[in-house]
Amino acid sequence: MGMAVIVKLTKIWRNKMVSTNTKLQLMRALVWPVATHEENKCVRKGIRIPWTKMMTNEQAYQLASIRSELLNHIKSCKLLFFGHVIRQPSDNIECSMMTGHVAGARSRRRPRICWFDNIMGWTGMLGTCSTERETEDVGLH
């Protein structure tokens, strides 16, 4: 599946007008999430976990006695990028979006997990991704 995404982007890979840096960013944004899914799928098949068994990816990796290399790399990149953005001025649009200060109403469905929720879970910091929260309350500045 990861190779299918790479093949679909062949025109971009061959285009000399697109910088190497942009191509790498596209690979990280479009190919790696698919590859992460495949990594998880391969681990589950390797230790014979049926798709009907409700088991988290973390439990599957513990059962296989391995670590998810690709997912850990993606997490570290995400944390680095979050640290870069959160140091920007508070009126920066990226900072406002990541910390949940975007005006508007959400749909009535279950709220999606936001960037900030991931960061809080990975780092053990306290805070939520709500429109009422200020970044000073969490102690990020």
- Rounded mean pLDDT of 9-26? 86
Task: With beta carbons less than 8 A apart as the criterion, state whether 26 and 16 touch.
Answer: no
Query: 98 exposed, middle or buried (CB, 10 Å; 0-12, 13-18, 19+)?
Result: buried
Lowest-confidence segment of 52-56, 64-68, 136-140 by average pLDDT: 136-140
Non-local (6+) Cβ contacts of 103 within 8 A are 131
The stretch 29-54 carries a mean pLDDT of 83
Residue 62 has, within 13 A of its CA and on its CB side, a CA count of 5
pLDDT at position 133 = 39
pLDDT for position 141: 43
Least confident of 38-47, 72-81, 128-137: 128-137
Tell the residue number behind the tokens 């007008």, with chain if given: 17
pLDDT of 99: 67
Least confident among 6-20, 65-79, 87-101: 87-101
Instruction: State if pTM tops 0.75.
Output: no
Reduce the DSSP state of residue 95 to 3 states and report it: helix
